[in-house]
Amino acid sequence: MAATGNEVAIRVRDLVVGFGDTTVLDHLSIDVFRGEILGFVGGSGAGKSVLMRTIIGLLPKRAGTIEVFGVDLDRVTDTERRETERRWGILFQQGALFSSLTVRQNIQFPMREFLDLSDRLLDEVAMVKLDMVGLGPDVGDKFPSELSGGMTKRVALARALALDPEIVFLDEPTSGLDPIGAGEFDDLIRTLQRTLGLTVFMVTHDLDSLNTVCDRIAALSDGQVVAAGPMTAMLASEHPWVRAYFHGKRAR
Amino acid sequence: MEADLKSTMSDRRLALAAVGAWVAPHAGDLEALIDRASRTGREVEAVDIDAAAIDRLDTIGAWLLARLVRTFTEQGCDTRLLGLSEQRRRLLDEIGRANLEPASRPARDHPIRAALVVVGRSVAGLGWDLLHFMQMLGELSAVLMRVLVRPRRFRFTSVVHHLDRVGWRAVPIMVLITFLIGSIIAQQGIFHFRRFGADLYVVDMVGILILREIGVLIVTIMVAGRSGSAYTAELGAMKMREEVDALRTMGIDPVEVLILPRILALVIAVPLLSFLGSMAALYGGGLVCWLYGGISPDNFLTRLKEAISLDTFEVGIIKAPFMALIIGIVACVEGLKVQGSAESLGSQTTASVVKSIFAVIVLDGLFAIFFASIGK
């Protein structure tokens, strides 16, 4: 089930996205395979988050097709679309936790909406999810404003995992974390991907994350994917931006 | 595809076979099955759970399996979970470790005790409110003194900006509302006074009522709802986004930069609005007296001149700046109380409007007592 086969989870073809006169993504194509962790890099403002938000349907596109699990999201009914949406979970950059709900209620929220579970089971499952992201049960009764940055990200991940998604989108999951916390978060993503058989689409700037957890890396420059493949392929790439990124001062 | 848990008993040994899709949509049925199965556990010594025939398993299904194992183990049975693939075994290990201890909710208080706690809290809260009000008043005075000593620090542009927002832009709505209120008072007065032929006394009533009480009161209540709430929401949002903290760290006093200009603008704008409001209300009253009561504008004005003096107007307008001060301070105090959540912003804004309207009416009462005792 989790084998990194060549089955495509997300297929993007000739995607064009722009705002006003500017074109951010220009005929971009990319495949994300089932069960892999894909790291997505690109300069600030290059359109990484735009791509993610377009795939999950928060931004409109001008041209191109997006298929998730072989379903073209433009050609489906609302019900089918919602079915597909339940198969992905999203970790927003700032966590986007609901500030008026406790951590436990935040995690339970999607389950309460979409599943018919007893209160006892809801509580237990919320605690299990918290435990999976490495937080103790005492965190459950806290409010998002009482959490540290790292804890917020973990809770947001737990909420993203609430409905057992097959794909998780992570928008800069380790930004704002110290190297130790970032390393732990990387391990966490790796473990979860192994145990749950997740497909992970990760927008990141963290070279260490790219090195340690990503199966494949895709580099975005000038609105297109200019290189995609494992780390070795990145290091071998001749594209000037990719060279600068992976051979720059901060690369090792 | 259904989910099921088949059980066979043999010789104090319970064999359970989990089959089908152990996924969230079947969670309700599965939970019932598990509860039933674990109740038979009293007479058994060993349990074998065969999970090989599960064709789909998610975290909720896995947790239910883990809970089954846990319950049997707690009952002292020798429990084994068989037939799991490598990946599912890992998932169950991960989930089975979960510590659920403090999942319990805090114990509920006795309802009477809880009600008393609520009452006590709100009484204490009232005291705190008063204290916070005094604190803000003090800070404001200190800042005002500092600004008076060094006028260069005074944020003139900011005051003008807020004056435009809470004063100038409020004129149309204030004039309209007070005009209508004035008309309604006059109409009611004429309707009832006419029965005992005291039509002309309507002018006395309208004049005194509007200049002493209604003009100021209506305007301040409108200002509390219109500008007080905006102040609270602005300051609250700034507090939430740590902008207030940022100011403090730069060595700039938020009271001086954010609060003084706002409150000063209110203190200037509210008397002006009250004056305009009173005039609009008198105009409305006069118009209704003419059209509905048949009192000509000439008669109205002569009668009005006899009925009121400058004192009547002064008694009304003198209250306006004090009320503006109260509205401003309550709004700013509530704004700075906002915590991290969106809900807290909403509740503080509500509190700001409710408290400032309440305070304005109480203050009006105090003024009435004061003026009565000095004979004005």
Residue B226 has pLDDT above 90, yes or no: yes
Residues 6+ apart with CB under 8 A from B197: none
Nearest Cα residue to B139 out of B150, B147, B128, B149: B147
A196 chain-B contacts, CB cut-off 8 A: 59, 91
Q: Do B341 and A143 touch (CB under 8 A)?
A: yes
A117 chain-B contacts, CB cut-off 8 A: 24, 27-28, 60
- With contact defined as beta carbons under 8 Å apart, do A39 and A69 qualify? no
Q: What is the mean pLDDT of residues B184-203?
A: 90
Considering only alpha carbons, which residue of chain A is nearest residue B101?
Answer: A137
Considering only alpha carbons, which residue of chain B is nearest residue A163?
Answer: B24
pTM over 0.80, yes/no: no
- For B18-63, the pLDDT digits (tens) are 787 888 778 888 888 888 877 775 677 777 778 777 787 788 888 8
CA–CA distances in Å: residue A116 to residues A88, A122, B30, B31, B63: 19, 9, 12, 11, 16
Q: What superfamily would CATH give domain B4-96?
A: STAS domain (3.30.750.24)
pLDDT at A4: 47
Is A116 an 8 Å CB contact of chain B?
yes
Mutation target among B86, B94, B104 for the A interface, most CBs of A within 10 A: B94
- By Cβ distance, the residue of B27, B87, B101 closest to A137 is B101
Looking at A115-163, list the stretches that DSSP marks H as alpha helix, in order from N- to C-terminal side. Answer: 119-132, 149-160
Is B101 an 8 Å CB contact of chain A?
yes
Considering only alpha carbons, which residue of chain A is nearest residue B346?
Answer: A100
Query: Comparing B278 with A245, which gets the higher pLDDT?
Result: B278
Is A194 an 8 Å CB contact of chain B?
yes
- For A68-125, the pLDDT digits (tens) are 887 887 788 888 887 788 788 888 888 788 877 888 888 888 888 777 788 888 888 8
Residues 6+ apart with CB under 8 A from B46: B12, B13, B14, B77, B78, B79, B80
Query: Phi and psi at residue B295, in whole multiples of 5°?
Result: -95, 115
Query: Comparing B178 with A166, which gets the higher pLDDT?
Result: B178
Is A157 an 8 Å CB contact of chain B?
no
pLDDT at B104: 54
Confidence of residue B1 (pLDDT cuts 50, 70, 90): low
pLDDT at B376: 73
pLDDT at B351: 93
Query: Comparing B205 with A151, which gets the higher pLDDT?
Result: B205
- By Cβ distance, the residue of B27, B98, B343 closest to A128 is B98
Q: Where are the domains of chain B?
A: 4-96, 143-373
pLDDT at B135: 93
- For B319-368, the pLDDT digits (tens) are 999 999 999 999 999 999 988 777 889 999 999 999 999 999 999 999 99
